[in-house]
Amino acid sequence: MNIPIIYEDDDIVVIDKPAGILVHPVTNEKNTLLDFLKIKYPKVQLVHRLDKDTSGLMVAAKNEKAYDQLKGQFLNREIKKKYIALVYGILKDKKGIIAKSISRSRKRGGSQTTTPIGKKREAITRYEVVEEFKNYSLLEVFPETGRTHQIRVHLASIGHPIAGDKKYKFKRQPKLESLTRQFLHANYLKITLPKNGTKEFVSNLPNDLNKILEKLRPVLQL
């Protein structure tokens, strides 16, 4: 696997996960991200997850003490995360908060669905529009909780599913040519390390997603 490691110390390792790699085995899958990490770090534990077709920053702990500390930061919402997402449609509100609980759908196996806030599994996502195209909007997304498929489910629930998302797309949603996976990238993490203070990590948008934006941007007439 060609997986860039962008930071490591005695306690953690931060990687830039490519799209298309399963993070951990669901049944008997091999060649997962966890398999890759355990070759070099036998005691490694994943602190959080990214969907198979989502790219970007992930942090893993090399020892139990680091795992407990980082897990506590995630549970207490102390870790700051930002994603870049391209969604279908033009949003009326250019900045907003989606507060809807997320639970497993009874109608769609393996999918998540939203319920009114106040129920179990509270989920909160902030977003801001940074660029608009014909029929699409580019967002910065800040999940304050970490539910399964949270960003994808929340954006679809307000009528703006992520481009290329096969699970949470609308029935008549146009397909964006050349986009082979969901346009979702984890590009920023701010965490407190067990020994080395607070650090920020940034991952630039991958080439496959940058090419999509280039095609959407109008050609300037000189």
pLDDT tens digits, one per residue of 146-191: 888 999 999 999 999 999 999 998 877 888 889 999 999 999 999 9
Among the listed residues 18, 49, 67, 40, the one whose alpha carbon sits nearest the alpha carbon of residue 203: 18
Whether 115 shows a pLDDT value over 80: the answer reads: no
Asked whether the beta carbons of 127 and 162 are under 8 A apart, the reply is no
Architecture of domain 5-203: 2-Layer Sandwich (3.30)
More confident residue, 205 or 148: 205
pLDDT at 174: 83
Across the range 110-123, mean pLDDT stands at 61
Across the range 101-120, mean pLDDT stands at 60
Whether 1 shows a pLDDT value over 90: the answer reads: no
Cite the active site residues: 51
Among the listed residues 153, 62, 69, the one whose alpha carbon sits nearest the alpha carbon of residue 115: 153
**Rounded distance between C-alpha atoms, residue 170 and residue 88, angstroms:** 10
More confident residue, 214 or 25: 214
Give the strand pairing for 95-104 and 45-46.
unpaired
Mean pLDDT, the chain, integer: 89
Asked whether the beta carbons of 201 and 193 are under 8 A apart, the reply is no
Asked whether the beta carbons of 131 and 138 are under 8 A apart, the reply is yes
Structure-block tokens of residue 136: 């699409």
Among the listed residues 22, 16, 46, the one whose alpha carbon sits nearest the alpha carbon of residue 7: 16
pLDDT at 177: 86
In the chain, domain spans: 5-203
pLDDT-above-70 percentage for the chain? 91
Q: Write the pLDDT tens digit of every residue in 87-102.
A: 999 999 999 999 999 8
Among the listed residues 168, 206, 177, 218, the one whose alpha carbon sits nearest the alpha carbon of residue 56: 206
- At residue 190, the 3 state secondary structure works out as strand
**How are the residues of the chain apportioned to helix, strand and coil, as percentages rounded to the nearest 5?**
15, 35, 50
**Rounded distance between C-alpha atoms, residue 202 and residue 155, angstroms:** 23
Across the range 18-30, mean pLDDT stands at 83
199: left (phi over 0), alpha (psi -120 to 50) or beta: beta
pTM score of the predicted model = 0.89
